[in-house]
A and B are shown apart, each in its own frame.
Chain A
Amino acid sequence: MKRISHDLPGVTQRIARLRDDLSQAAANTQQIWCDDKGRQFFQQHIADVAPTLSQLISSLTQSVEQFEDIAKKVLDPDQNS
């Protein structure tokens, strides 16, 4: 049986970085866009982004662990390589 390598941790990490970068950029921009339209924009379009991505990241972190556990359990102990 061929072992499998995957990039789920890498994808998870990159999505987390995207979330953090956007949050930082939004925080910086909120300081210079101070009117009602700005507040409304961040509330309507940006506020949900980080929580939504965080849910996915948390779920992916769990999936990576679950998959590693499965991969170990289905290995053939008698297989040389």
Chain B
Amino acid sequence: MADNAEVRSLDQLETFLHQTEKFRTQLSAEIENLSLELRRLTNWLTNDVHSYWSDELVKSQRRLSECRDVLSRCMSYVREDERRPCTEEKKRFRLAEERNALCQQKLKTVQAAIAFWEMERSKQHAKVARCRDLAESDMQVACNVLRDQVERLQSYAGLRAAASTQPIIAESILTGNAKVDTEERKGRTR
């Protein structure tokens, strides 16, 4: 024998169906947004940032080489009275060395960050994929089941309303015994 069906508010069930459909659509859209954002951040790190520091390293090496040459020329002398302090040249060379060291260190940091971020993304990929399945498949099934249930109860309530104004406690059309709230049903048939 089928179980007793007990739905106290068909309106509430219909509302829940709409809420579930809306949830499914919005979750699907947010998962898409999320995937785009994650891809954008990854591209920024692997392309923009990596290129920036690679270029800066090349520039800093060129600059260091130029400063070394300038300093070398400044410090070279034939006679003792030609000897100069080259303070400015030394300062520029030191700054160029510091910049070159910074660029090397930043490039290593970027490479480590890319590896770390890729690892985190691969961990996250499974969770995002699960939520995408949830939105596109699982919740679609849930909406179908819910819609089917609502339609059965609507048909049942419609038939009962046509037949009687008595409280409905009777066998449902397909699923077994049904009980739909009398006041609500009266309201719906008015």
Q: B-contacting residues of A (Cβ < 8 Å)?
A: 1-2, 4, 6-8, 11, 14-15, 18, 21-22, 25-26, 28-29, 31-38, 41, 45-46, 48-49, 52-53, 55-56, 59-60, 63, 66-67, 70, 73-74, 76-78
A46 to B33, CA, bound (A): 23
B146's contact among A21, A28, A41, by CB below 8 Å, is which? A41
- Which residues of B1-26 are within 8 A (CB) of A? 3-9, 12-13, 15-16, 19-20, 23, 26
B13's contact among A29, A36, A52, A67, by CB below 8 Å, is which? A29
Main secondary structure of the interface of B (DSSP, over half): helix
- Taking a contact as CB atoms under 8 Å apart, the answer to whether A56 and B117 are in contact is no
Interface membership of chain B positions 40-58, coded 1 if the CB is closer than 8 angstroms to chain A and 0 otherwise? 1100110011001100100
- Taking a contact as CB atoms under 8 Å apart, the answer to whether B113 and A70 are in contact is yes
A11's contact among B30, B99, B127, B181, by CB below 8 Å, is which? B30
How large, as a class, is the contact surface on chain B? 35 or more
A2 to B8, CA, bound (A): 58
Q: A-contacting residues of B (Cβ < 8 Å)?
A: 3-9, 12-13, 15-16, 19-20, 23, 26-27, 30, 33-34, 37-38, 40-41, 44-45, 48-49, 52-53, 56, 99, 102, 106, 109-110, 113, 116-117, 120, 123-124, 127-128, 130-131, 134, 138-139, 141-142, 145-146, 149, 175, 181
- Could you list some 7 contacts between A and B, CB below 8 A? A15-B131, A22-B19, A29-B12, A33-B7, A49-B139, A56-B127, A78-B102
- Taking a contact as CB atoms under 8 Å apart, the answer to whether B19 and A21 are in contact is yes
With CB as the reference atom, state the residue of chain B lying closest to A3.
Answer: B44
Question: What's the nearest-Cβ distance from chain B to residue A65, in Å?
Answer: 11
B131's contact among A41, A53, A63, by CB below 8 Å, is which? A53
- Taking a contact as CB atoms under 8 Å apart, the answer to whether B20 and A22 are in contact is yes
Contacts of A37 in B (CB 8 A): 3, 5, 149, 175
A8 to B42, CA, bound (A): 13
Asked if A33 meets B128 with Cβ closer than 8 Å, knowing A49-B134, A70-B116, the reply is no
Asked if A35 meets B4 with Cβ closer than 8 Å, knowing A76-B56, A78-B99, the reply is yes
Contacts of B49 in A (CB 8 A): 1, 74
Contacts of B175 in A (CB 8 A): 37
B7's contact among A28, A32, A52, by CB below 8 Å, is which? A32
- Taking a contact as CB atoms under 8 Å apart, the answer to whether A4 and B44 are in contact is yes
Asked if A76 meets B52 with Cβ closer than 8 Å, knowing A11-B34, A18-B27, the reply is yes
Contacts of A73 in B (CB 8 A): 109, 113
B12's contact among A32, A60, A66, by CB below 8 Å, is which? A32
